[in-house]
Amino acid sequence: MNHHVFIVPADHRCLQGHFPGNPVVPGVLLLSEVLTGLGANIKAKPITIKSARFTAQLLPNEQARVSYKIKDKSIRYEVTVLRDATTVAIASGSLTTRLDESSQ
């Protein structure tokens, strides 16, 4: 299984309006990190986001981990964070992709 780790710093400009005084990382930024990790670690070219489910909030400065499971041209992903020694699922979903020859 491949993975991608990231942190959204508290001073990231997207947090200024999402939400003032109680910032949370927007879902679109989570998806951007899913795709960034996919391209960097698996050498895949996403074609379609088939599903995206957000189950908890990601807070600024938390370290998130995106895990990928590949089956044929389908990739399932899960975004998790460690809170109080417990792994919490933040988001999950699936992509349809075209894998490069070198990634299989």
- Per residue in 18-73, pLDDT (tens digit) is 888 899 999 999 999 998 888 776 666 767 899 999 999 999 999 999 999 988 88
Show the domain range for 58: 2-103
Those residues whose C-beta lies under 8 Å from the C-beta of residue 98, and which sit 6 or more positions away, are: 44, 45, 47, 73
Q: H/E/C letters for each residue in 39-60?
A: HHHHCEEEEEEEEEEECCCCCC
**Which pLDDT value is given to residue 4?**
92
Q: What is the CATH classification number for the domain harbouring 89?
A: 3.10.129.10
Q: What are phi and psi of 25, to 5 degrees?
A: -75, 125
* C-alpha pair distances (Å), 41 with each of 5, 55, 103: 11, 24, 9
Domain count, the chain: 1
Q: What is the pTM of this model?
A: 0.87
3-state secondary structure (DSSP) of residue 91: strand
